[in-house]
Amino acid sequence: MYQTEVIQEDFNRDISGLKINELLPENVALREQHILEAITEKMLDLSGNDWHEKEGGIRFDLLNAGDSHLKRLAKSEARKTKQIYEAALSEHMGDIDLAYVDVFIYLTKKRITPPDSKTTYSAANRAICSKWWLRRLRVKQAREMETEALEKNQVSNFKQIYASNKSVTRREAQRERNARVLENVTAVNELGQEYTIYDLAALSVSNPEIRRAELMTRIKGFEQYAKNWGDVAEFYTITCPSKMHAALSHSKDNKTFGRRNPKYDGTDPRAAQKYLSNQFRKIRAKLDRNGVEYYGFRVVEPQHDGTPHWHLLLFMSPESVGFVRNVFKHYALEMDGNEKGADLHRFKAEKIKEGINPETGQEYSAAGYIAKYISKAIDGFGVGEDLFGNDAAAAAKRIETWASTWGIRQFQQIGGASVTVWRELRRLRDDEVNGSELIERARQCANVGDWAGYCQLNWSGNIKLMKKELPEGENALNVYGDEKQMAVLGIESNGYGVVTRPHVWEIGGNAASEVHEVREPWTRVNNCTEQLLESELARFLKGFESNHSGEVSGLIANGFNAVDAIQAVKGRAISQAIDERLGKGWDFDDGFTEKMQLKFAGEVGFSELMDEYEESGVPNLDCDGSGFEHFKEYRFNQWLGDYLYQRYGIYLSE
């Protein structure tokens, strides 16, 4: 199996395979050997059977977990990690670097990629955060789900093309949840202007139409730039070795198409993508050493079984073409280059024709050559059908699911001027820049979509981003302890700056406010003041040893566990005391109910409540739009019941 991940399936192997220097934060580089020895010692203590048993357990849980379950699991894992970290800190006398080793081991045992942090302090803070765990578990769930589909040979053109149906459904639900959240979150600036995040996202490259249009503008611009300089266009396709393909792609009689590939070694699409990236890194290094200049775009798309392959549209001088082709072919066939069909299928090079196409009467176009791959990977616009006869729009959703699941970047610009600066220039629109001729000319190019002209002006990066200064002290750090990233303020050239982001935005009122607002009570429950409950709880705790420990011991002797025994005795004592003071059938006052509603809204939150609502299946039966309100009432009652039992040992009356 081609493996580039640090976390291996079998830990009963030589620890030297771990690239510790690529995993541990920068501040422990000088102590790497010491930490490596500590990790080695702990790894060698791991039992192979124990490892696989734990891994199988968490994988089973993840595959069958809803998002609300994932959130509970994330909180549980964060607590466990915190306990491990705090115990290790005590053991190592407060040495954060060595304490993090134990955290690193725990994450590795769970096959959770350790945090990407600059310091062990911030890495540890991430690892004990339930939000960080939730993000990791969601990613792990998505990939394990798709791995299972690959293992069962469910992903192919004859079954479920590009990605499994289960993953497509999961991704669609995720997109809908995200859209609902964005629709209910607003951004407000210092002028009082207010927009939903959903509306703002629709104006950016997050919008598929805008994304596709911008990519095509840049590609056409590169083509025009190449014509201006006398460069030629080449189109290359690189495919992975046959052992990385889960299913067979073709045969003379089509009898084996889509069947499980007997050579398949278990390489998943993410690992296959890393293989391609590594080979391209070698190609770039070779070309750079020989002074070859090139520029263009790379598009990654899945083959029918989800294995990635690359299409590259590159522009270069005519004299470089032969050398570039040879370099690409050498590294494309470096692994298993002698296998059957490798020379024919693993690397293809095509020269983009020049002049007029006699069939269409139009000029041959490099941009037109790659346009279908761009569109097919985004929204299927103008394509009709994919290579296998599937509706292109439907196929695009499956391709997007595939890319999202495996964390694969579909498009990458190679060489050329900064697209980030280009986007900042487009923010200026018709605002003329008087202090810099270079910036003004670049602004004019960006305003009319002239990528070629912009590249001519800013190929060497003379126009740069202008960043905001970081605040001092604690405000310079994020919640995990890492230094905050400097936000973009504008652009600058030769000391002259232009602000492109003049407003200060705050994320303001959102749909969660509907949960926070106190309107009519969501539920009719037994009512009593909080002060009375708290006073009886304090009385119980104060007199526990003398008045209640015997009752607890008796329940434990009858089979209760200690926690349930204490809760039962506590609940009985508090309920009896309040019954004596207020009589049976006492009720909570409205103030307590309202306070609990606010507490519920703060702990659960709108997005989590919406996730649970989606998983409940109620939306499919909700005809009048009241389903969410009923679910919110039900979920609040459930939460309140848990709260009353955990704190006071009493049950919520129906």
Q: Left, alpha or beta for 294 (phi > 0: left; psi -120 to 50: alpha)?
A: beta
Q: Does residue 198 have an active-site annotation?
A: no
Give alpha helix (H) positions in 339-391. Answer: 342-345, 366-378
For residue 260, give the DSSP letter: B
Strands of the sheet with 232-239, listed across from one edge: 347-351, 232-239, 308-316, 294-302, 411-414
And the tokens for 114?
């350790």
Q: What single letter denotes the amino acid at residue 599?
A: K
All residues at 6 or more sequence positions from 597 whose CB lies less than 8 Å from its CB, including other chains? 515, 518, 521, 522, 636
For 645, other C-beta atoms within 10 Å of its C-beta total 15
Q: For residues 146 and 164, give the distance between their C-alpha atoms in angstroms, rounded to a whole number.
A: 7
The residue from 373, 454, 480, 613 that is catalytic is 373
The answer to whether 623 and 636 have CB atoms below 8 angstroms apart is no
* CA 379, chain centre distance (Å): 20
CB atoms within 10 A of CB 473: 6
CA distance 58 to 211: 37
The answer for 649, left when phi > 0, alpha when psi is -120 to 50, beta otherwise, is left
Q: Show the tokens assigned to 431.
A: 């605002």
Determine the residue type at 515.
V
Burial of 193 (0-12, 13-18, 19+ CB in 10 A): exposed
* Residue of 582, 587, 585, 597 whose CA lies nearest to 526: 587
Nearest-5° Cα angle at 319, 314 to 325: 50
Q: Which of these, 215, 212, 204, lies nearest to 412 by C-alpha position?
A: 215
The β-bridge partners of 232 are 316
Given the residues 225, 369, 454, 648, select the one marked as catalytic.
369
Residue found by looking up tokens 């004859």 in the block: 158
| H helices present in 128-245, as ranges | 130-151, 165-183, 197-201, 208-229
Look at residues 343, 272, 333 and name the one whose alpha carbon lies nearest to residue 302: 272
* CB of 387 closer than 8 Å to CB of 379: no
Q: What order do you get walking across the sheet with 194-196 strand by strand? A: 194-196, 185-189, 505-510
Does the annotation count 331 as an active-site position? no
Token code pair at residue 485: 């990233």
d(CA 309, CA 41) in angstroms, rounded, equals: 40
Smallest CA-to-CA distance from 277 within 318, 308, 254 is with 308
Contacts (Cβ under 8 Å, ≥6 apart) of 524? none
Catalytic residues: 369, 373
